[in-house]
Chains A and B, each alone.
Chain A
Amino acid sequence: MINRIFEKIFEENAGFKFEKWAPALLLSTAILIYIIVCIVTGQTQYLTLDNLLAVIGRSIALGITSIGQTFAILVASIDLSVASLISAVAVLASVVMNGNPTMIIPSIIAAIMLGALVGFVNGLTITKLKVNPLIATLSMSLIIQGVLSAFVSNFAGSVPNEFLFFAYGSILGLPLSSMFFFLLAIVAFLILRFTKFGSHIYAVGGNPDAARFAGIPTERVIIYSHIICSICATFAGLYLASRLRSGAPWIGADGVYDLESIAVVVIGGTILAGGRGGIWGTVTGMMIFSLVDSIFNVVGIDAFAKQVLRGVIIIAAVAFYAARSKRLAS
């Protein structure tokens, strides 16, 4: 018995685990292409560390959202309501602040409460009403967007200059928003890797029935994961409000944060069926996304061709290791 367990452990650690390295491999390819493209087109000014940080900085909102989405996808769920929530949070925050620096803290609290509520309701609909997560969160998205556009139709409120620090400020030469992103990634990593809740997430995503029989409160784990996902989207919304200096009801939908965050998570090697993957994959996925965008910019491809290539790249990147996975695609 013990022998067999050891054999299993040995088997898992021995050899090259393709799935684990696929995102890193993809990222290196993207970086390599980026460097080659920069050199070939003679635009070596793009090859500095500052520019690399700028490349990441462009996708901070997507990255933050994707970290949350990772939690939802790991429990075999999905969240399509993040884009609308981002719009709602950005509008709420900028309306509550309305240019008044003393209202920054209350508006952040209000935004986080809204996010937590949305995540909680998503989780409840999925676990208690047993609604398919895709439909549950899609409906939530429609509801948020509907309520939002009933109240505002344009940029609403304004953000005080102090709050712009979140998107534009830097500490010790490093942009605050990027630091926030990496800090969030580290916290998410620690939660997934070292807490009981983290292992519960993998258990529930891997096999909900087995997890339930093992005494894990599966429903609670799913609800918490959705709350985390929505709160991350809230941070993304606050970041965008700070970056755009005001909130508008279309910023979430414009960024296609719902579908793109899913694509980022999947490109990062997290499996849609749940239970396998992690935060570093997602961070890698987000970097791949922004690198691909930068490559397009450096080459100077027109906007529509860019869109076409983007779709192809999403499919190709997922196919890259999905083809190696033994699971049946669904």
Chain B
Amino acid sequence: MIQQLKLKSNSRMKKLPQLNLVYFVLAALIVAIILNNPNFAEPTGYMNFLKRAAPLAILAAGQLYVIVSGGFDLSVGSTITLVVVGSSMLSNNDPSTTWWVIPVMFGIGALIGLINGLVVCFLRVPSLIATLGMMITVNGFASMWSGGAPRGYLPDTFRFFGRTSFRDIPIIQMLPMALIILVVFGSILYWIMHKTNLGKMIHAIGDNPNAAKLAGVSINRVRISAFIISSISAVVTGILLGGFAGVSTDVGTGYELQAITAAVLGGAQLLGGRGSVTATIAGAITLMAIFTLLNFLGMPQPVRQVVQGLILIAAVALTMSRRGNTGH
């Protein structure tokens, strides 16, 4: 009886905070940043911030597809590295090559995703191991291709996507290309995940693969699609990052874990079944906001790591305790 009452009150309580917690956290962080550095409230401040957050946000939104389908994709960081290194090798400092280098990169990305998916589906290798193996392999390829120590910058036509900002725009003054790409690509990912059958099927196979199979979902095809989407997002991220920074073999290092962290901050459920693209993008921006805040506070790099760790545990523990009440 008491339990029933408790359940009832819980279900009523649940209705109220429908909005994902991550948005409140993000808002609080932004206020904290502005208090520390009023310049952040200026368009150049927040636009540059969003520009820096865009690659991670795109990567995390792609990673979300694999997470919701019940897996992990650890190969995205190495894919970023391969895109940056490979583009620099192919373009060879010739600005006129960009128009064909980028499609080639998307092809390579799709291939990586396809192989990930095939290995997971048909060789039945757990995704953690399959994509870990892929990560080692792709990193090896990137080093092999460049001979180990690539240097320099990509041609300006390639860097356009990550680096350029349109200036002299009313009200917001500047609009980074990276932000436009985030909005466009994010909307596409949002639409696929939340408005199409593919999105519903991804949720279904992550929640209960057996039930999904009985309901007639072609599990393998859906799972492979999720991996391809994740890898393609990694290519977009790589193209943006290629515009920010120089060419090296560790551009993408650590991004796979940051992407998973962002998705978790956005309330995605590891091992599948739950997740929202918008909340994940907010999660990525939150993570960047945390880093920015720590930077403003003059915290050294190691502290950043510790804080990332603590936040990760707190985020998951909090979602678990909230979810614990619903019995999921």
Residues of A at under 8 Å CB distance from B? 125, 129-132, 134-136, 138-143, 145-150, 259, 262-263, 266, 272-273, 302-312, 314-315, 318-319, 322-323, 325, 327-330
Contacts and interface: CB of A to CB of B under 8 A. Distances in A.
A315 B309 contact: no
A328 B126 CA distance: 9
B312 A266 contact: no
Given A138-B312, A139-B313, A329-B124, A315 B306 contact: no
Contacts of B134: 311, 315
B321 A307 contact: no
- Interface hub of A272, A305, A330 (most chain B Cβ within 10 A): A330
Contact of B124 (A141, A143, A310, A325): A325
Contacts of B321: 129-130
Interface of B: 70-72, 119-130, 132-141, 143-144, 148, 209-210, 257, 260, 264, 270-272, 300-310, 312-313, 316-317, 320-321, 324
Given A131-B320, A304-B141, 14 more contacts: A130-B324, A131-B313, A139-B312, A139-B313, A142-B308, A266-B129, A273-B126, A307-B139, A311-B139, A312-B133, A315-B129, A318-B123, A318-B125, A322-B125
B140 A304 contact: yes
A315 B123 contact: yes
- Interface hub of B123, B135, B300 (most chain A Cβ within 10 A): B123
A305 B136 CA distance: 11
Nearest to B317: A129
Contacts of B143: 303-304, 307
B302 A150 contact: yes
A315 B130 contact: yes
A329 B121 contact: yes
Contacts of A263: 129, 132-133
17 contacts: A138-B309, A139-B313, A143-B305, A146-B307, A148-B302, A149-B301, A262-B128, A262-B129, A263-B133, A272-B128, A308-B136, A308-B137, A311-B139, A312-B133, A319-B125, A322-B124, A322-B126
Contacts of A307: 136-137, 139-140, 143
A178 B212 CA distance: 49
Contacts of B320: 129-131
- Chain A at the B interface: SS class: helix
Given A131-B316, A266-B129, A330-B271, A311 B306 contact: no
A129 B324 CA distance: 10
B283 to A, nearest CB: 13
Contacts of A310: 136-137, 140
A238 to B, nearest CB: 24
B148 A145 contact: no
Contact of B302 (A147, A262, A308): A147
A329 B140 contact: no
A252 to B, nearest CB: 14
Nearest to A141: B309
Smallest CB-CB A-B distances: 8 pairs: A311-B137, A307-B140, A146-B305, A311-B136, A142-B309, A319-B123, A308-B140, A146-B306
A324 to B, nearest CB: 8
Contacts of B128: 134, 262, 272
Contacts of A330: 70-71, 126-127, 271-272
A135 B316 contact: yes
- Interface hub of B127, B130, B260 (most chain A Cβ within 10 A): B130
